[in-house]
With several copies, the nearest count.
Chain A
């Protein structure tokens, strides 16, 4: 799905009010895999929440295939994965995933529960309750819950933050492997620059709060990507500098 963000502002109420996003402008063609990077507290989660219709922007607009987030949400075409796993404590691992399945209307594209749990490596503890799972396991469970939802737009908030490099890479491949055929648009918040470059078609860099767009770089590299490739290394160092600047502004 096409995502158009124009003059997007969000300021949280309160005294003092907290500006989280200040004038974002970008548009994402349908099916693009976009990584979102930025310093802590710069508004990444806020942006995803706006797209998922959990917040109304205080200024500007988001359009998804020309419709408002509310309309898209009503049509259940967006799958959102929060930064914290938010697992229901009274449901088993499987139960938590199964619950999500009640909320998908007919469209196909979502994984079967069994398959989703297998792919995130929780196939053998489906009966365990969330409070008996390790941090990383909880996050993987939340991921499985997203994977069963068929959607044209994936909003993922640091889905791998609590995972070790290896699991991380394996799941990244799994994910690409699911993404290729359906080709949903993906907004992927990550702090892992290599990961961003390994996965994304495009990387958006936000400044420190209130978030503004400080870099927008496209990667036309074939997947799987070869880190030794000079273009990869170039992109890498470019990103680092952007981020450093973004941070720098934060310090001022």
Chain B
């Protein structure tokens, strides 16, 4: 598996390169003004010129994103587990979850600020609110999709609902959990940014907000590049962890 892995990494970089180059070319040829769409080179230059500023901002935002993601994942998974152990309340709780999910963050963000002040706490909560839903839905279907022969086995053992959950459903739902994590990780970054978008005293989100309201797009896109990179790294880490955790079900690509 080593050689192909290295090859596909090469291909990956190739594709990204092609994308960036055509972007650069497009901007130059159609000479799109910088206040509409800056060229990648311009963006990277901006990054290179303000390393420390972006480093600090990223640290804060990524911190919020990760903690928020953690909370969101825990919440989503916890609810999914609850609904598996008490299936009666599934419809009701899902209704509330969807109500919560349908509430645009801009509507609750100020309330959170009113209650929790200007610190990082509201940002973390917003991120959690944004990330819990995919985890809830995916883990729930993962927990509910069990092969009948296994259920029969546990039934013949007179296993309790909890035991069926712990020894059968939980391991079986891992593939769904990881898919959910891959979905939520980039969401968490967005969440932290959106949370900082208004009323933060630091972080990438604030940088982006200022850059945008000042129509300073290179700074805006520099932040976006950082987000994309962070998202990519998270995704790769998750894919790696998935391979380790779900060792019994190989991800088959060769046919």
Contacts and interface: CB of A to CB of B under 8 A. Distances in A.
A128 to B, nearest CB: 12
Contacts of B115: none
A78 B163 contact: no
A28 interface: no
A90 B158 contact: no
Most buried by B among A73, A79, A99, A129: A99
Interface string B238-254: 00000000011100000
Contact of A84 (B149, B163, B167, B248): B149
Interface residues of A, number: 22
Nearest to A73: B158
Given A54-B152, A86-B150, A103 B171 contact: no
B51 to A, nearest CB: 45
Nearest to B174: A90
A138 B248 CA distance: 15
A109 to B, nearest CB: 16
Contacts of A86: 149-150, 152-153
Interface residues of B, number: 17
A86 B155 CA distance: 13
A100 interface: yes
A188 interface: no
B171 A53 contact: no
A51 B174 CA distance: 33
Contacts of A89: 248-249
A131 B148 contact: yes
Interface in A31-58: 49, 52-54
B171 A82 contact: no
A82 B163 contact: no
B151 to A, nearest CB: 9
Contact of A82 (B153, B158, B159, B249): B153
Interface of A: 49, 52-54, 73-74, 76, 78-80, 82, 84, 86, 88-90, 99-100, 102-103, 129, 131
